[in-house]
A and B are shown apart, each in its own frame.
Chain A
């Protein structure tokens, strides 16, 4: 989900596949998990590194818009909750980096690719969080959209990715509920507070819909990724599910989804809704969203400012192990 527009390698017909590739595809079709040191097509490995890496980067960059409000949370309890949530996002990023590293890429290589702009993170985190109500909207909509995508990914074919998703899903539901809890509080508050909640929904609705990636008719990489079971549903399927789930929740809050064309369609058993502005989506992905420079700048600064500390701990560890070795030597 946090993985949009992941370029997929490969896409061969069965006739074009080598016997090894056929055996591999058969394992996936039997729902066998693929584990790190086993043979896999190079395209599978590369696509997974891209997807898991992008997912991990999104978790890490995703801390920034919410971190923005930690010092300004309205109560001590809200502050503690927000801290716990942002810490979880860091944890989720770490689970995913670990999973990516089992595919033969190093942590430093992944971070370097993020910092240089070579690898992407989800477009959603390039929008600003202007008011406290945005903390509610982010938890409710952004984490809600993420869960929509991550639940099926628990069944993905790559073992370490699947296990990371299982851990993440266990923790993610707290995130969405805490967001909705903030929205309920604000919607039951003063007219000004309710207006803030409506404003947050207005600003996050379409960016949340964009999280599922482009429309299926423009999504060129889906087929191969779905055959490999590293993508479990199409973008439009998940987007529809998200809208169907979210609209009644907005109604409960007494908020209006900012889409005049939103309408229940009895025949398909789901809502008809307007697509987001895809030119905005592609602009944000290309680096031209409202906060791209700020987000990436904060990441790079944190990495560079922390270099002396990482090096210091390494130097300390090297000295301590040298001292231990010398002590053992002297005792012998």
Chain B
């Protein structure tokens, strides 16, 4: 069995001014080929103006089981939202 090409995650900036966004993955022998393949696989209809490729193995992801400990602390901090504060109508838009 020959060695399988590594997996790359593909991020595409759809338009100028937007963030790169994850669109999927593909296999390629190296970064240069990953970009070429991404051009063919993910931008056949002008979907992008810029491509990032990252080896899937190089991505560290938060684990689904940590959801609680990671995000719960922000639940109690309602004062981080503008709606926490009552501003009288007379003050006008703020």
Contacts and interface: CB of A to CB of B under 8 A. Distances in A.
Interface of A: 35, 37-39, 84, 87-88, 91, 94-95, 98, 101, 106-108, 163-164, 167, 171, 307, 310-311, 313-314, 316-317, 320-321
A314 B41 contact: no
A87 B2 contact: no
B30 to A, nearest CB: 4
A167 B26 CA distance: 15
A87 B45 CA distance: 12
A177 to B, nearest CB: 15
B64 A35 contact: yes
Contact of B29 (A98, A171, A317): A317
Nearest to B61: A37
Interface residues of B, number: 20
B94 interface: no
B27 interface: yes
A79 B71 CA distance: 54
Contacts, number: 53
Nearest to A108: B4
A310 B3 CA distance: 9
Contacts of A314: 2-3, 5, 29
B85 to A, nearest CB: 33
A88 B44 CA distance: 8
Interface in B57-85: 61, 63-64
Contact of A37 (B27, B45, B64): B64
B26 A98 contact: yes
A173 to B, nearest CB: 12
Nearest to B56: A101
Main secondary structure on A side of the interface with B: helix
A164 B24 contact: yes
A163 B42 CA distance: 13
A99 B55 CA distance: 16
Nearest to A92: B41
A98 B44 contact: no
B45 A171 contact: yes
Nearest to A94: B41
A309 to B, nearest CB: 10
A223 B45 CA distance: 38
B1 A87 contact: no
Contact of A108 (B1, B29, B64): B1
Contacts of B61: 37
B40 interface: yes
Contact of B63 (A37, A98, A163, A171): A37
A91 B41 contact: yes
Contacts of B30: 313, 316-317, 320-321
B28 to A, nearest CB: 8
Given A95-B41, A108-B4, A164-B24, 12 more contacts: A35-B64, A37-B64, A38-B64, A39-B64, A91-B40, A98-B26, A108-B1, A171-B44, A310-B5, A314-B29, A317-B30, A321-B30
A316 B3 CA distance: 13
Interface in B4-42: 4-5, 7, 24-27, 29-30, 33, 40-41
B14 to A, nearest CB: 13
A176 to B, nearest CB: 16
Contacts of A87: 40, 44
